[in-house]
Amino acid sequence: MLACIVALLGNLGDHNGTPALCEKAVADNMCEETSLGVIGTHGAISGAMWLLLWIIPGWRGLRTVRVLLAVAATVVLILLPVRMFDWSIRYI
């Protein structure tokens, strides 16, 4: 949910350019492949972390580990729109 909110905030501006991570790939017309690769990587890392949450037992002593892992998986998803948008452009 937080990743979607960050993405929506990034889309509020009138910005028709390519994502910031495509700067090097624009010359070869590989922006779509680069974007999909980054989206897939973030999704796979976050999914693996959430899967690990199901593997770690719910014992009281491991609660801190589980909470930190859940926060880390959420941060990985939130970093996706942060990497996708060029935040240096003034949107408002």
More confident residue, 46 or 83: 46
How far from chain centre, in Å, is Cα 8? 13
Residues 76-92: what's their mean pLDDT? Answer: 69
pLDDT digits (tens, 9 = 90+) for 46-80: 889 889 988 888 778 888 889 999 899 888 888 87
User: Is the confidence at residue 14, as pLDDT, over 60?
Assistant: no
| Distance in angstroms (rounded) separating the CA atoms of residues 81 and 76 | 10
User: Amino acid letter at 28?
Assistant: D
pLDDT digits (tens, 9 = 90+) for 17-54: 666 777 777 788 887 888 888 888 888 998 898 899 88
Virtual torsion, Cα 92, 5, 48, 33, nearest 10 deg: -50
| Distance in angstroms (rounded) separating the CA atoms of residues 36 and 89 | 23
